[in-house]
C-alpha cells in the first residue's frame, strides 16, 4: 500500500497579503503628508539658480565673450536671471517667486559685469538674500567666488 501526500501549495496566505496592503497604505499616507504641504519652489532652488547664472557669466568673461553680464530682476510673479543681456543670444533663467523675495544692497534690477579675470567689475562683495518659508544667503565675493552664506569682510 502506497501512501500519497497531498500536494503542498506555495504562495502567500490571505493574512500576509492583507498585512502588506495595510503597510503600503500606511507608508503612502505618510509620504503624501510629508510632501503635500510644501511648495514646489524653495529659496534654495533660487539660490542655486543664481549661482549657476553667475558662473555662466563668469565663464563668458573668461572666454572673452560679450555675454559677460548678469542681470538680476524680481518681477511680481518671478525671478529672472539674464546672462548676456544686450547680446544677440541672452540666456534667461526664470523661476516663479511663490511668496519668496530677494533683497540686495542697492535694490533690483541689478546688473553685474565681470572682467577678463572672472571677477565683478565692482570689486566689492555682494550679498543676496532670498526670504520665504526659509532664508538663504548667497555671496558673490570680490574675487568672483559664489557661495552660500553671508559674505565675509
- Dist. CA 119–CA 143, nearest whole Å: 5
106-128 in b/e form (b: 16+ CB < 10 A) is eebebebebeeebbbeeeebbeb
Alpha helices by DSSP H, listed for 37-131, are 43-63
Lowest-pLDDT range of 23-27, 33-37, 69-73, 103-107: 33-37
In a domain, 85, yes or no: yes
In a domain, 28, yes or no: no
In a domain, 6, yes or no: no
- Dist. CA 52–CA 92, nearest whole Å: 11
pLDDT bin (cut points 50, 70, 90) of residue 95 is confident
Mean local confidence (pLDDT), 58-81:
92
Residue carrying the nine cell digits 534690477: 109
In a domain, 137, yes or no: yes
In a domain, 7, yes or no: no
In a domain, 8, yes or no: no
pLDDT reading at 70 higher than 60: yes
Question: Of how many residues is the chain composed?
Answer: 153
**How many domains, in total, are found in the chain?**
1
Q: State the CATH number of the domain containing residue 130.
A: 3.55.40.10
106-149: pLDDT as tens digits: 899 999 999 999 899 999 999 999 888 788 889 999 988 888 88
Residue 33: φ, ψ to 5°: -65, -35
Range of the domain at 59: 43-148
In a domain, 20, yes or no: no
- Global pTM value: 0.71
In a domain, 33, yes or no: no
Q: Which of 39, 59, 63 is nearest to 51 (CA)?
A: 59
DSSP state of 145: -
- Dist. CA 91–CA 114, nearest whole Å: 16
Amino acid at each position: 500500500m502506497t501512501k500519497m501526500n497531498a500536494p503542498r501549495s506555495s504562495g502567500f496566505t490571505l493574512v500576509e497579503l492583507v498585512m502588506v496592503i495595510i503597510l503600503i497604505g500606511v507608508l503612502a499616507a505618510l509620504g503624501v503628508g510629508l510632501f503635500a504641504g510644501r511648495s514646489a519652489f524653495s529659496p534654495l532652488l533660487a539660490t542655486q539658480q543664481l549661482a549657476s547664472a553667475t558662473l555662466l557669466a563668469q565663464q563668458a568673461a573668461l572666454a572673452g565673450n560679450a555675454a559677460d553680464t548678469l542681470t538680476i530682476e524680481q518681477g511680481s510673479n518671478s525671478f529672472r536671471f539674464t546672462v548676456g543681456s544686450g547680446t544677440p543670444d541672452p540666456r534667461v533663467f526664470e523661476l516663479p517667486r511663490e511668496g519668496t523675495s530677494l533683497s540686495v544692497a542697492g535694490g533690483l534690477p541689478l546688473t553685474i559685469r565681470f572682467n577678463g579675470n572672472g571677477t565683478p567689475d565692482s570689486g566689492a562683495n555682494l550679498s543676496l538674500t532670498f526670504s520665504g518659508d526659509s532664508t538663504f544667503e548667497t555671496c558673490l565675493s570680490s574675487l568672483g567666488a559664489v557661495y552660500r552664506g553671508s559674505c565675509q569682510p
